[in-house]
Amino acid sequence: MPCRFTPRLNVDDYTILNRRAVLRALGSAAVLTATGGCFARSAWGSPVFGAYPFSLGVASGDPAPDGFVIWTKIAPKPLERGAGMPKKPVEVDWAVATDDRMRQVVHKGTATAHPELGHAVHVEVQGLQPARDYFYQFTVGGERSSTGRSRTLPPAGSAVSQLRFAAAGCQRYEDGFFTAYRQIAAEAFDFVFHYGDYIYEYRVVRPGERPLSVVRVMPDEPDETYTLDDYRHRYAIYKLDPDLQAAHASAPFIMTYDDHDVANNWAGDVPAHVVAPELFL
């Protein structure tokens, strides 16, 4: 039976301010932030890192018949505020190849990792062939990331004899190790559908504080997430897990979100906080 795939949505079509128009008008070194300020202008030339800058691994997602998104974050000290990076943008080279040794490169370029965006890199790769594997890698300051595998979707409206994917979600750190992701990585699926609750926003849970067992305690023993730095720290804790990193590097993820990605019942009728915390008063 034919399977039909909806082409990837263009976020620019749903925003008042067209992102690509801003980039063309202002250049990548002076893009306006959501708060109206400007990104830092002076880039960090010839960066040298005291620790491996790709500590959070690589990932791809949002697959389409002609491409996908590739991601990494420059974070030599991922659990520190600012991830051990200066408040300067840094240029990151990227490449996409048809082989896992990165010898047959079909696309390459340079992206700017801005401090305002946590030095994350988000590249929308297009112009690829449908229904085939590709491999990608990042380079910064002489350091190379691990190689990730991604895959494009079949052409829209085409007949598909087989489509292999995994479903995952509700991955609370304290409730168990992420060993299922190691198996997902070994399967090399066409894509992974993640249905939400990638993180849980609760404060750290220690053994004995609840009836259920606590398999592992989050490093730094964080409080509940409220600020942008809190969320970046929480995502770093999760993405340091080697099995989760392996799954991200093995196949593109198609993501949706659930309440704990923001706050428990954030869109429901029973909010977790009846009264806002003092932080917001």
Q: Supply the pTM of this predicted model.
A: 0.83
CA distance 247 to 17: 34
User: Do 272 and 178 share a structural domain?
Assistant: yes
pLDDT above 50: residue 258: yes
Domain of 199?
A: 164-281
Question: Which 3 state secondary structure label does DSSP give 245?
Answer: helix
User: Do 148 and 105 share a structural domain?
Assistant: yes
pLDDT above 50: residue 36: no
Residue 43 confidence class, pLDDT cut points 50, 70, 90: confident
**In contact, 68 and 58? CB cutoff 8 Å:** no
pLDDT above 90: residue 78: yes
Q: Mark which of 136, 159, 182 sits at the end of a domain.
A: 159
pLDDT at site 266: 80
Domain count, the chain: 2
Name the residue among 247, 240, 248, 277 with its Cα closest to residue 76.
Answer: 240
